[in-house]
């Protein structure tokens, strides 16, 4: 098997892959245009994707980072996110933001990479998602806004 190659891309990223991290097509449509798109490829096929929306000349938001379920737990997401953060630094972004649920593996994953909690967005998932989101049988209600200074 080939190693993983991370790159900035204009290649169309499969919607099904993006839905792995964000189950709402309306939300994906709201950030996919005018975004920076990155992929990790294994054996020349997209294994993971990361969508970044510039907020200003110095800050941006990671709106989606997803890995195909069959490729998870192999370090591909971490390799892609590390690549993306380096690229964002090269592009002169100074601050990266993202939102995640208030519990689950994603929260500790981001914190291990240096992201810090900025605030809690109360009832975020109820306001912006038409269907309830559950993880491990628990309803997601609030979203944590995290940030990283590059």
- pLDDT value at residue 118: 95
Mean pLDDT on 126-138: 83
| pLDDT band, very low/low/confident/very high, at 2 (cuts 50, 70, 90) | low
| pLDDT band, very low/low/confident/very high, at 133 (cuts 50, 70, 90) | confident
End-to-end distance of the chain based on CA atoms, in angstroms?
33
> CATH no. for residue 39?
3.40.630.30
For 26-50, how does the pLDDT look when each residue is reduced to its tens digit (9 = 90+)? 999 999 999 999 999 999 999 999 9
- Domain limits for position 75: 4-149
pTM, rounded to two decimals: 0.89
Q: Determine contact, residues 15/28, Cβ cutoff 8 Å.
A: yes
Q: Determine contact, residues 63/35, Cβ cutoff 8 Å.
A: yes
Mean pLDDT on 49-73: 96
Mean pLDDT on 139-144: 89
The per-residue pLDDT of the chain, averaged, comes to: 92
Q: Let me know the angle formed at the C-alpha of 86 by 80 and 91, rounded to the nearest 5 degrees.
A: 120
Of the chain, the percentage scoring pLDDT greater than 90 comes to: 67
Give how many domains the chain has, as a whole number. 1
> Lowest mean pLDDT: which of 33-47, 74-88, 102-116?
102-116
């Amino acid at each position: 098997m080939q190693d993983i190659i991370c790159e900035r891309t204009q290649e169309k990223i499969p919607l099904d892959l993006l839905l792995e991290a964000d189950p709402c097509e309306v939300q994906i449509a709201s950030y996919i245009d005018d975004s920076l798109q990155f992929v990790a490829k294994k054996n020349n096929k997209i294994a993971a994707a990361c969508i970044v929306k510039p907020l200003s000349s110095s800050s941006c938001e990671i709106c989606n980072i997803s890995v195909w379920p069959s490729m998870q737990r192999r370090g591909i997401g971490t390799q892609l996110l590390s690549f993306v953060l380096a690229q964002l630094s090269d592009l002169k972004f100074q601050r990266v933001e993202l939102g995640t649920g208030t519990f689950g593996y994603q929260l500790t994953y981001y914190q291990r990479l240096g992201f810090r909690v900025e605030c809690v967005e109360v009832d975020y998932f109820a306001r912006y998602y038409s269907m309830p989101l559950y993880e491990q049988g628990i309803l997601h209600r609030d979203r944590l806004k995290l940030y990283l200074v590059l």
